[in-house]
Chains A and B, each alone.
Chain A
Amino acid sequence: MTRFLSKLTLTTVLVSAFAISAHAGEVHVLNWKGYGADEPWAIEAFEKATGHKVVNDFFNSEQEMLTKLRTNPGLYDVVMINAAFTGQALAENLIQPIDTSKIPNYADISKEKAGSPMLNQDGKVFGVPWVWGLTALAINDKSFDSAPTSVSVMWDEKHKGRVIIRDDAVEAIQFGAIASGQNINDIKDMEAVKAKLTSLMPQIRTFWSSENDWNQMVASNQIDVGTYWSGSADRAKTQFKLPVSLVIPQEGAVAWLDAFSIPAGSKNVEGAEAFINYMIDPTFYVEWVTKVGAPVSANDKALAALPAESFNRAVMGDPKVAERIQFQAPITDAQREQYLAIWQELKVNVK
């Protein structure tokens, strides 16, 4: 009898130990490096509140992110996907539907972002909008008396050899589309884009690939103006105290929406839901903006928690800005390869 009891106790202890470990397990997050989800203060607060341990992993391009999901099924619990790529991830069965009732903050996300056709399919939600931002221009404040208003500043003879652009085919082609007055998602006149970019090449100092590159070029006063991401420009100003300002040119800018998804085969869906909920929470967002600098939250309440004159509310929330920006739509593999071929050709002919 005692043996039976002790066995029973042992089993209960083991089962409950297992249950606890399953309850408060690890949450494996896949995201860009230095992009909110790996802030030490945020991880600490999340771990304290929920008991889940956060394990971060990073990617350097959307293709790398997709490959990591394909080659490591079941490893990740949360993945940050540019909404333009959510459809591709879904088509390859890399992500699973999300039960938004488990994510209390989901209700506060702006209806237009939450209802984006890129994130929803057959009435199921596959992506929770997190933040959105722009690929626009940023300037070195030291080189300008007043901020420029047009993309033509990139072609200005005065800034020859002091212009920077990202070494990314899709970004470069879409920037060319904006400069030649076209729709970024439906480029009709590719020759005009090529001509624009060809004439831009002699202006360029070098290409950037990471935030760090851009910030170093400004810190050593080597560039005047270049394409940059809105959140990064904010971080350069807030966190690194650099003389950087974002410019949304009158011709427009490329907008992107970043969202969280739960990979198929996640071992800790509950932890993933808790993490996503925390990431879209106003408390986290305000602290992220104040301490580090961030893009615009998709959560209306989080945005409302910022001071009214803050950049993300005053400028990015301006209806006149909203009219000018074009949201990135999904790109097919064939288009991406075409863009890369054009971009490589442009870079080779520069010599």
Chain B
Amino acid sequence: MATGGASRRGIGPALPLLAPAYLWLTVAIFLPLSAMAFFSFMTELPMSGKDWSFTLENYAAFFSGALYPTLLWASLRLGLEVTFWCLLIGFPAAYVLAKVLKGRVREAIFLLVILPFWSNGLVRIFSWAMVLREGGILDTALNAVLPFKVNIDLMYSYPAVIIGLVHSYVPYVVLTCYLTLQAIDDSLIEAARSLGASRLQTLRRLILPLAMPGLIAGGVLIFVPVVGSFMEPRILGGRTGTFYGTVIEDQFVAVFNWPLGAALSFILLAVVLVILAVAAPVLRRAQ
């Protein structure tokens, strides 16, 4: 009883502060998501004017052939690869920002990292199209410098999709890792070094474990949206750009089969949640 009273006292004054955010979340996320969950069990959209009934067929469609599982697997692989490259590129940058650079230089470099967030995502992808194609900026620049002729034509290929996605998501890793790295006391690193640990040992035994929460947060933050991405694969991937996300988009935009699109989305959500749940103990231990 006493604890209940205490928690009620705790939440009472907090309500006016919490209400706007939770009201917004309810209206903007929970309601549309419930509507989508509802649609995913229907044969037709109610607004189509046709008769509709409840069905599990949309979910059965996923398992009816190799098509959707293959696509989902391709998307999960894409998510893992992009996350890997983002961590590999983002972590060193975050380390330098947090531990090496100081003052104005750090501010300037930090600004460069978050600068891409200020421009529209679609614009960024289209600029990649200009860079990656044959006769594009990368091709021309390399051939101007190199003594021999190389032919760079990465556009409309799997690597192009990876490049575009890594570019879009690497700032997340830099930001999350920067926060955890900055919290590491410099004297800890000094102590390790003075006790004879090599640079590599310090990194492996001290810095990486302490920075793990940031790495994990960054990884999860990237993995989830990349698995469902459709814009980058469609624009940069060309004929190899068919992924789970683009097929969901097709259901909504091209054929207006919202129920199937919604069902496919919820299967993706379920798979991602299962992966996170399975990984949770490992991740917790790592933290």
Binding site for B on A (CB under 8 A): 60-61, 63-64, 66-67, 70-71, 92, 168-169, 201, 204-207, 220-222, 336-337, 340-341, 344-345, 347-348, 350-351
Contacts and interface: CB of A to CB of B under 8 A. Distances in A.
Contacts of B255: 61, 63, 169, 336-337, 340
Contact of A205 (B49, B239, B247): B239
B26 interface: no
Contacts of B67: 341, 344-345, 348
B242 A222 contact: no
Contact of A222 (B65, B134, B239, B253): B134
Interface string B59-74: 0000001010011001
Interface string B135-160: 10000000000000000000110100
CB-CB nearest 5 A-B residue pairs = A206-B238, A63-B256, A347-B242, A204-B239, A206-B156
Contacts of B1: none
Interface string B155-187: 110100000000000000000000000000000
B74 A351 contact: yes
Contact of A350 (B50, B240, B257): B240
A92 B48 CA distance: 9
B133 A207 contact: no
Interface in B231-281: 238-242, 247, 250, 253-257
Given A67-B48, A220-B133, A348 B242 contact: yes
A343 B155 CA distance: 22
Contacts of B247: 344
Determine the interface band of chain B, counting residues with CB < 8 A from chain A.
20 to 34
Interface of B: 47-50, 65, 67, 70-71, 74, 133-135, 155-156, 158, 238-242, 247, 250, 253-257
B48 A61 contact: no
A348 B233 CA distance: 13
A189 to B, nearest CB: 21
Contacts of A337: 255, 257
Nearest to A165: B239
A23 to B, nearest CB: 32
Contacts of B257: 337
Given A60-B253, A205-B239, A344-B247, 4 more contacts: A168-B254, A222-B133, A336-B255, A344-B242
A273 B148 CA distance: 67
Contacts of B240: 350-351
A63 B238 contact: no
A120 to B, nearest CB: 23
B34 to A, nearest CB: 20
Contacts of A348: 67, 70-71, 74, 242
A170 to B, nearest CB: 10
B47 A207 contact: no
A209 to B, nearest CB: 9
B250 to A, nearest CB: 8
A139 to B, nearest CB: 19
Given A221-B135, A344-B67, A67 B238 contact: no
A351 B156 CA distance: 12
A70 B70 contact: no
A173 to B, nearest CB: 13
A330 B256 CA distance: 17
A87 to B, nearest CB: 15
Nearest to A336: B255
B249 to A, nearest CB: 11
Given A60-B253, A63-B256, A344-B247, A206 B134 contact: no
Contacts of A341: 67
A122 B39 CA distance: 37
Nearest to A350: B239
Given A222-B133, A336-B255, A205 B156 contact: yes
A238 to B, nearest CB: 26
Contact of B254 (A61, A71, A345): A61
22 contacts: A60-B253, A61-B255, A63-B254, A63-B256, A66-B256, A67-B47, A168-B254, A169-B255, A205-B239, A206-B156, A206-B238, A220-B133, A222-B134, A336-B255, A337-B255, A340-B250, A340-B255, A344-B67, A344-B242, A344-B250, A345-B67, A351-B240
A66 B47 CA distance: 11
Nearest to A204: B239
B135 to A, nearest CB: 7
A201 B156 CA distance: 13
A221 to B, nearest CB: 7
